[in-house]
């Protein structure tokens, strides 16, 4: 899938959790400690995502590699670029 949120970043679910949910919860709870969870979640993501990438590479081959090269991994900074 290369449309919708997947055209903006490879992992929109993880991105929304790290960029929106955790900071939103920190604001609601008025807690700087909760806000520190975002970098921790990002580190956990980076250490665990390799298995998912291997599965995708196995299932979709070169098409997946093209998508990975053209689409940001987590943070949707390059809006409008298509694989």
Closest CA to 45 of 10, 12, 8, 14: 14
Asked whether residue 78 is domain-assigned, the answer is no
* Rounded-to-integer distance, Cα 24 and Cα 54, Å: 32
Number of domains composing the chain: 1
CA dist 44 to 3, 20, 64, Å? 26, 17, 23
Residue 5: band (very low, low, confident or very high) from pLDDT cuts 50, 70, 90? confident
Confidence of residue 15 (pLDDT cuts 50, 70, 90): confident
Which domain range does residue 28 map to?
4-70
Structure tokens at 71: 């689409």
- Does any domain span residue 80? no
Does residue 19 lie in a domain region?
Answer: yes
Examine residue 27 and state whether it is found in any structural domain, yes or no: yes
pLDDT in tens, 32-82: 888 788 788 888 888 888 888 899 899 999 999 998 888 888 776 654 445
pLDDT at residue number 31: 83
Domain membership of residue 83 (yes or no) is: no
Q: At residue 83, does pLDDT exceed 50? A: no
Residue 44: inside a domain: yes
In a domain, 49, yes or no: yes
């Amino acid at each position: 899938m290369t449309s919708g949120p997947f055209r903006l970043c490879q992992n929109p679910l993880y991105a929304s959790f790290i960029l929106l949910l955790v900071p939103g919860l920190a604001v609601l709870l008025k807690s700087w400690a909760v806000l520190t969870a975002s970098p921790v979640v990002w580190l956990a993501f980076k250490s665990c995502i390799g298995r998912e990438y291997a599965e995708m590479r196995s299932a979709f081959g070169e098409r997946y590699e093209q998508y990975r090269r053209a689409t940001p991994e987590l943070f949707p900074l390059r809006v409008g670029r298509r694989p």
